[in-house]
Amino acid sequence: MMDGAAGMIRTPWDTPPEPGEAIEVAEGVLWLRLPLPMALDHVNVYALDEGDGWTIIDTGIWNKRCLAALQAALDGPLAGKPVRQVVLTHHHPDHAGLAGWLMETQGASLAATRTSWLTTRMLQLDEETEASAASVAYWTAAGLSPEMLARKRSERPFNFKDMVWPIPTGYTRLKDGQRWRMGGRDWIIRTGDGHAPEHATFWSLDDNLVIGGDQLLPSISANIGVNASEPEANPLAEWLDSCARFADHAREDQLILGGHKLPFTGLPLRLRQMSENHYGALARLRDHLATPRVAVECFPPLFKRAIDERVFGLALVETVAHLNYLLEDGQATRRKREDGAWLWERT
């Protein structure tokens, strides 16, 4: 924990709540934590007291362990009042996975940005039993070895629907700049991009609370990735633009309730850190491209550590995001090798 001085990042709580328990972080606002089956092993969920019920911000993933932890919270600190509303910051499975379950079992309504809702609905209807042609083309362009390419083609792809309870039709749209009432407070919705399209954050007009989802995290960087579905995308430019826009509204005293890790204060510094982290990575990558490289040869300057199979996919999509940024910014060029891989080089 830092000392909370101006220009510092401070976490007022040293430890998170145990699964099924809650910590009150402000009047009528409970912080819950649900387990995840991945390297980032948790997601934060917030319950806002509506008097006759609860609003739940994000929901965890759909699996037995996470569902059991959410049920324990419903039976424990949230007991006695139903969940009236589910609000999603964005569409990723660890945030939207149990929204449909709460709608079905609690009769809750759903609020989300249009892009989050449409993307969730689309992805839950999409099922792949083998790697798509688009995925194979993406891996080939990234320079995967023939052995790794063959292995990935033989694996069952990740399917969104395996981790997200089906979401029924019908929702309330959240929009950038909109005033939104929940938990006895008025909030301004500010959306960001880069990690997830039209990611909603909520800035209280009545006190110092900000609900940041994965857009505002204290000590880790949200994954900024280019995927096979949109291989020419430039999400890093969108992320950096979002950080700059959020900086206009950031104050030292705001308590940021993020989707992972601990609540924190010191948002102005944290926004600068998040931007500088990527600008530094871009500079290192550009130096690395003094020698032409394929994407899978660009991990060292970006991550400064060995990348194993467990995080290979996340590292690859983030690497392509940084390469696409340099390309669009005129700092790098690319050409196709005979094997179909892009060979990147700085200008």
Domain locations in the chain as residue ranges: 23-289
pLDDT at 80: 82
Write out residues in the chain with pLDDT < 50, as ranges.
1-5
Question: Rounded distance, CA 110 to CA 170, Å?
Answer: 8
pLDDT at 308: 87
pTM for the full predicted model: 0.95
Question: Rounded distance, CA 280 to CA 297, Å?
Answer: 18
pLDDT at 6: 56
- The residue with tokens 């633009």 is 241
Question: Rounded distance, CA 259 to CA 250, Å?
Answer: 18
pLDDT at 39: 86
Give the full edge-to-edge strand order of the sheet including 199-204. Answer: 179-182, 185-192, 199-204, 209-213, 255-258
CA–CA–CA angle 227, 231, 235 (5° rounding) = 70
pLDDT at 46: 98
Written out in words, the top-level CATH class of the domain with range 23-289 is: alpha beta
pLDDT at 333: 98
Strand 179-182 with 172-174, pairing: unpaired
Helix, strand, coil percentages for the chain (3-state, nearest 5): 35, 20, 45
Residues 6+ apart with CB under 8 A from 32: 17, 21, 22, 44, 45, 46, 47, 70, 73, 77
pLDDT at 12: 97
Residue pair 237/245 in contact by the 8 Å Cβ criterion: no
Question: Rounded distance, CA 267 to CA 246, Å?
Answer: 9
pLDDT at 3: 32
